[in-house]
Structure 1
């Protein structure tokens, strides 16, 4: 690979870590990349805008909410855009970037990270990046913007993790972040600000126009407080591929709840700043031992999904399980690995950390909840907006083994008569699947969230809170507030394939769109409350500190550990199973349980008091039982549940 003399290949590309060196070697500077942009014809632009009008006017579930909350009218803006293009000619049409800019502004106006305009080639699949990462923390002096990661091989005088950014191309850094944040969707100010910081140095071109500037001037204070400055060019490279094909008509694609921008950035961060994860993923595929594990870290077959380790706090030793994404295409493998990791972590308490998780497969999020609670999980119900096109889609796919929409069809039929805005609400996740395994972790659990938790992760956090699993500790005042199932334009077109009256057409040059298709509603004490724009408010708030950013979340984990230290562990375990004279005999060991109820083959068969943590239960006629469920109570409250399968 060669570049011009005035734009040589940077040293950090030549000297990148081995697992990503070949990938980054294919990168180019922004100016060179943009020479291949701008090939959409006027007719292709008209097709794109017309399809956007179909999705927003006839499929978009949040349109009434967004129009009311933000005083926007994206449908009218699209109509005006289409009208203007009808009077244009190929000779006088404006530059392509202005078309992309207006389309992006229209979609961003609804502040919904599920509902996106996706740029065509050559932008599709690319990221623009600078070779470092900036994060925000606060202290008594206010907000600070600090470098936390630097790409391997990159160097500038005194520039390293821990230095503080003061200006961004001459603009004070706080103002620069706000200016960037204003360009991005987000359902609340904290979510927009968080994404503004993240997008300073990593931007997925699938969702956003490339930076207007070809380079950035970074002003910073080194660790001695000396002001310094350097200039760095934006570079462009292919991102790592997504885990799921969201365009194919499959059950997995139909159950997506994903912040695509967050997912793109997460994959880019692995490429740029976590090459060890790339190496671990390769080793897992090859069946080889995981390389470069850190102290206390447990090897995993899904290093891009999980990171598990023991952490020491002043309150004791606890497990720390980071779930980076719910974007998986093999649900069984995901659940199997989650169970294995939980079995290897300390049982005294668990710090369950879903910060920056942009969601993915809703099943993966909701199926995980059962592992941490004795209570039965009620999956969140979802609703379509009632439109003639959505009704046609649901009628066409009643009883479809891949995408069964039959549950929603009767209420949408009825809406014609009663004028209801939304369809009936039914679970997206099958309730049997959400309860098939039952509780597997018996220590107390605290959940850590932030403003980049979105979509399926919003659903997970809401379910965690609604089922009373444990306290929620947030590093922001709310989660990202994305409450919907999302479908792509290609997926919708696939659902209507074979129908000659389908309004969907193939988009040119890999252009794309996504739309929130079904909104989610909370359950339990918050039953009926929409997740969209509201999100999940944590029970306790911890603002990220400088020590957190530089010392692997040390203060945050200490805070979580103190919360766990004040909670009680409740557990039930069967130590022996035997049969005698046709009876089933169970020896049970329990922790902080005063009553045990026993169900055999789903029937209540015994209830005994527990005095010292040990109890024997005899069930007459139960020798041939297939299963037993043991429910442990403390002061009349269900606190633990163990299911044993015998055959």
Structure 2
């Protein structure tokens, strides 16, 4: 079913006195979007909805009962959310259950109403970790319009521009750069505010960006389909002429996730911190606007990888095109590396960190722009392990806490002394067991990322670094941004007033069910969810370290050190002003160099060859023990030190005016 190619405008709106109101520009033209779809297999929204609506009354009761169990027995942020947002999700679920008990299959509300109510309870806590995931046929599907809208500042006013159009969508003069003025007849700022209020961002900036995102993409796994079957977009073209475009909502399967963490029970699956909505949105945008990258990511053939440093203005080929984009960028202040990290949702932290380090080595060493905008998180261990590569100082991973409830206590009890458990929880159990007597709200706090693992590689990049964030940064990305700031690695440059403020480790219902049922227990309160529905809950809250030690990340997030409002040039010219702002923060900061190779000799000595820049002293340690120190300058240096036959690693620490500014750890090579 395709829309017609022409629509006749309705009669113009009228003023309160009944006279014709001059609200529609005289030069307004109206057109329909093309019938072609950018995603194969797409169907109109109305056709898709004809397949929905099969939940029985008994299945609805199961969903409500399990939602009550998670929010009342597992949800770590319940006291915080009740206080900050004046909500009572548990009571809302009890009322919903009471209404269901008065209904039957014949008298129950339409399924959309049920989904709306249950989703509304989860949205009320404004926590993008805590979700009701809709059942089949909604899961895995996206509703979309074939273009993207972005908000920016132009000549002191806020505007909404079309920043990307899907390949094959030709509705000229509609295209990249046109300014949206109204959405279904509603002024665009008001339309965004209404959308923002529906979604679960924990602060104003987070809600606003999700209000913009949801204009054109709706992952149906997390949000109900749009109420309207098409939208009418009012816009102004490059010549100042007013137009309207009527575009039909389409539905298609989303691109696959980078890591399938939904059906496995491992320590990795229990270490996730992910805004699933942001992850779904990012894959949807890749599917719509970068189909080649999606194809490259999921093809079996390995790309030809670069082995030489990238030239100015060039791009480095990566094995993970949906995870990284690495390039050399020219800014007004000089040429720097720009490393975009789109997601931390990866199958295995080791491969992710290895690729991150490889890309660092091929980028300009004079300064790095680490850009995590739009990153909804993923594997917390993978995220925290990259921090060590950017600083000579030891990284302290963020600790996490459970809320003390009988249900959480029982889950931890079952995974305390079991040597075969895949999710060890023994560190948290004693404090939770003690809380039965003391009444403590939270358990003791311990990091998910082992401290040794967070420091195993050590510093790999020796130039200055700036991190770029926005309000879409969430979960594991909030954690890595907090760690970047807490360890004073470099300035945080934000295009919004805050990150998304998602400070938790999230567990899905199936993981909770599996952990509570190990060993098998017929009295487990968790039951299977119907028709591929699912739920997720913030299970362990994260706390900051350093100067803000003990401060929760949830709802507070990471405030940038420097703000930059996105401009029209940023939206339409690949972030040119933003990159200039980042370059200005890097310019003039010292660039260090510390390369180390160590070769043992038969007499027991160790020859350490060094390439140095920006240092005035080095200290050498073998297997953690100090063996020498030397004043140095910007020159290559060879140092011979005594070493035991079993020496396994050498660490060289570089200082400038008494401050540790560089460090490198290398294995001792043996023939």
TM band (smaller chain): over 0.9
Aligned Cα RMSD in Å?
A: 2.0
1:637 Cα deviation from its structure 2 partner: 1.2
* Number of the residue aligned with 1:263: 279
Residues 14 and 157 of structure 1: is their aligned pair in 2 closer, same or farther, counting only changes over 3 Å? closer
Q: Secondary structure at the match of 2:76?
A: coil
Which position in structure 2 is the counterpart of 1:336? 354
Distance 1:599 1:448 in 2: 35
How many Å apart are 1:587 and its aligned residue? 2.9
> Does the 8 Å contact 2:613/2:633 carry over to 1?
no
Contact preservation (8 Å) 2:2, 2:35: no
Q: CA 1:606–1:5 in 2, change beyond 3 Å: closer, same or farther? A: closer
Deviation track 1:430-480 (CA, whole Å, cap 9, x = no partner) reads: 111111111111111110000000000000000111111111111111100
TM-score with structure 2 setting the length: 0.92
1:535 matched residue in structure 2: 557
Which residue is 1:601 aligned to? 623
398, 403, 408: which one aligns with 2:428: 408
Instruction: Report the more deviating stretch, 155-164 or 199-208.
Output: 155-164
Further displaced range: 397-406 or 188-197: 397-406
Counterpart selection for 2:295 from 274, 279, 295:
279
Deviations 1:202-253 (A, max 9, x none): 0001111110011100100011110000211101111112222234212221
* TM-score, normalised with respect to structure 1: 0.95
Matched position secondary structure for 1:40? coil
Structure 1 counterpart of 2:508: 488
Cα 1:122–1:621, aligned 2, differ >3 Å: closer, same or farther?
Answer: closer
Q: CA deviation at 1:355?
A: 0.2
Question: 1:37: which partner in 2?
Answer: 52
Task: Write the distance in 2 (CA, Å) between the matches of 1:452 and 1:270.
Answer: 16
Question: Contact 1:593/1:613 (CA < 8 Å) preserved in 2?
Answer: no
Q: Distance in 2 between matches of 1:575 and 1:405?
A: 40
Deviation at residue 29 of structure 1 after TM alignment: 0.4
Quote the Cα distance in structure 2 between the aligned partners of 1:387 and 1:487.
16
Matched, 1:425 2:445: yes
Say if 1:382 and 1:521, in contact at 8 Å, map to a contact too.
yes
CA contact (8 A) 2:494 2:562 kept: yes
Gaps of 5+ in 1: 17-23
1-side partners of 2:386 and 2:562: how far apart?
23
Partner of 2:316: 298
SS of residue matched to 1:108 = helix
Q: Does the aligned pair in 2 maintain the 1:592–1:613 contact within 8 Å?
A: no
Tell me, which stretches of 5 or more residues in structure 2 are unaligned?
A: 7-31
Matches within 5 A, 1:73-472: 73-242=88-257, 243-283=259-299, 285-289=300-304, 296-398=314-416, 399-472=419-492
Question: Contact (CA 8 Å) 1:356, 1:453: kept in 2 or not?
Answer: yes
- Are the equivalent residues in 1 in contact too, given 2:165–2:175 (CA < 8 A)? yes
Provide the secondary structure at the position in 2 that maps to 1:517.
strand
Cα contact 2:492–2:562 (8 A) shared by 1:
yes
**Corresponding residue pairs, total:** 635
Determine if contact 2:621/2:651 at 8 Å carries over to the other structure: yes
Q: 1:589, CA displacement in angstroms?
A: 2.4
Q: How far apart in 2 are the matches of 1:350 and 1:72?
A: 43
Specify the alignment match of 2:14 in structure 1: none
TM alignment of 1:537-556, pairs within 5 A: 537-556=559-578
Query: Any residues of structure 2 matched to 1:552-631 within 5 Å, and which?
Result: 552-574=574-596, 577=599, 579=601, 581-622=603-644, 625-631=647-653
- Equivalent pair of 1:249/1:494 in contact (CA under 8 Å): yes
Output the CA distance in 1 between the equivalents of 2:535 and 2:111.
17
Q: Does the CA-based 8 Å contact 1:257-1:485 persist in structure 2?
A: yes
Asked whether the 8 Å contact 1:313–1:557 carries over to 2, the reply is yes
Superimposed CA distance per residue, residues 150-201 of structure 1 (whole angstroms, 9 cap, x where no aligned partner): 0111121311100000000100000000011110001100110000001100
Q: CA deviation at 1:357?
A: 0.2
Cα-to-partner distance string for 1:528-576 (whole Å, 9 max, x where unaligned): 0100000011110111000001111111111111111121112222266
SS at 2:329's partner residue? strand
Runs of 4+ in 1 over 6 A off after TM superposition: 4-8, 10-13
Tell me: CA distance 1:401–1:615, structure 2 relative to 1, closer, same or farther (3 Å): farther
